[in-house]
Chains A and B, each alone.
Chain A
């Protein structure tokens, strides 16, 4: 991607992060593929997360603690920290860029209206959840999420994703990833409370915040501080991880069967 487009994308990312502060939805209309009304959850709250990339050391403590807390099957992740090696264009110095990914609990979540049985829905506090007693496992929501935040859980055969640890939030605990973050990079809180840490930080860093894939119009509610525009959308990078092959050309280092 050329420089101008990159800069443009960065701008959109910033603008969208700003626009998302104004809660524009709860407007439900009846058209096909429009957002249905929200249900359950506290209407007084709007949960969101701010990730301070400057504090992320890429230790994957969040990945592991989430995995244990939410019992995701091996090889499937509700959150993960993508890591990139970036070489400086002029000096040749290299640095590592860490990008924690999770469900963005979008204000306009494309995964919700597609669900044919209303198993996926958005709570009034903004958290997008799946009722896996209702889910038929059609995987339509998995296709519709632009962030690969969803997967079909091979144990339950239903859709699975990050819930901001709603079960913990509801009893006053922090999400497992926030709790375990070594650098304190993940800040979760209520955007409707002007005194919450996240509200204060969003105000303070308003112009620097970015969201992922703003061009999708999803209005993500995971905001990144210290973000590099190059990673806002699908990065123009060389995939290294799956290129590890043995002498027969077979992929090695991947031990989860059944994929």
Chain B
């Protein structure tokens, strides 16, 4: 019956959020998740987590610096960003986010600065321009008490909860897109963020430090636990849709019904999810396999990024009003591929600059006092 209706004329609606948005959501999620990974080693001063904290701190700072740039770029009028602060709008999640983000950034940077400072001060005693620069960056020889680190760390953590809530809510409240409109989306953003952060920590650990086995083991455990939680959340979401418990999830399912591409996406998601969980478990169990953790690390980063790509970009191709689906072909220009590469380039630059300037592999303030 319904197949007898043909849509003869309908306008084409372009997508409104570009891949920049994916980059922002990815980087900021890795940022707050890696911040969590620094907690046992740096904030609680647990010796056996210190190596993990070192790598995680580098990851969180570099992502925190690069993320907001991607966000700015997703505005069609980036030079008007000051309008956010000239027109405070407490009822808009995005406006709330614009207030949280700078404070979060400052606190994360302060937290890392305090953690790296003793090593920077030591470096400043040497010769050459790096030593000189280190002296400037560490702002003198005075001793920063540990409570300062703890205070900024706790502050950054508190703000990171704000970032988790706002980034999730901002998308999840959009009723017009049933695939977004679920309480589980913010939870899923956090879980996949933690997966990606742990994965990135493993990769950095492989590439920039001596592939520390303890770091690998701890990160893999984080991945296994969060993947199991993600599976639970996904199952709950699906069951809400099937049982009709949530009309909006039911609508989300209906909007994709009979679409082979989305079915393929679902199957792919399930398969990579299983692949990652199994890889992580096997790597943990087999003696001597920890050195190959980077395989799980790559998969984890892939899942964290692709989840955001599917949620933010592909969902925009599901028509709200008209029949069928739009085709989104990623453009080569700055709003497409160049943007994606550019943001990763920026992140890499931040990472390398920190690597040159900061002796981040040396002990953190946590253990030096």
Contact = CB atoms under 8 A, between A and B. Distances in A.
A116 B74 contact: no
Contacts of B264: none
Those 5 A-B pairs whose CB atoms lie nearest each other, nearest first: A137-B76, A239-B324, A87-B4, A139-B16, A146-B176
25 contacts: A32-B92, A32-B96, A33-B173, A36-B91, A80-B11, A101-B321, A114-B173, A117-B87, A118-B89, A137-B80, A139-B16, A139-B76, A140-B92, A140-B170, A147-B321, A148-B319, A148-B322, A158-B76, A234-B319, A237-B2, A238-B3, A238-B5, A239-B7, A240-B8, A242-B327
Nearest to B4: A87
Given A31-B91, A152-B16, A117 B8 contact: no
Contacts of B97: 116
The bracket for how many chain A residues form the interface is 35 or more
A165 interface: no
A83 B8 contact: yes
Given A143-B16, A143-B17, A83 B77 contact: no
B320 A158 contact: no
B363 interface: no
Contacts of B175: 110, 144, 146, 216-217
A128 to B, nearest CB: 14
B177 A143 contact: yes
A230 B83 CA distance: 42
B310 to A, nearest CB: 16
Interface residues of B, number: 54
A84 interface: yes
Interface of B: 1-14, 16-17, 74-77, 80-81, 83-84, 86-87, 89-98, 169-170, 173-177, 247, 251, 255, 316, 319-324, 327
Interface of A: 1, 30-34, 36, 75-77, 80-89, 96, 101, 110, 113-119, 134-140, 142-148, 151-152, 157-158, 212-213, 215-217, 230, 234-242, 254, 259
Contact of B92 (A77, A113, A239): A113
B91 A30 contact: yes
Contacts of A31: 91
Nearest to B254: A1
Nearest to B74: A138
Contacts of B321: 101, 146-148, 212-213, 234
A259 to B, nearest CB: 5
Interface centre among B170, B319, B320 (most CB of A within 10 A): B320
B2 A81 contact: no
Nearest to B312: A143
A66 to B, nearest CB: 12
A177 to B, nearest CB: 15
Contacts of B14: 151-152, 259
A89 B2 CA distance: 9
A79 to B, nearest CB: 10
B8 A241 contact: yes
B220 to A, nearest CB: 36
B88 to A, nearest CB: 9
Contacts of A146: 175-176, 320-321
B176 to A, nearest CB: 4
A243 to B, nearest CB: 9
Nearest to B1: A89
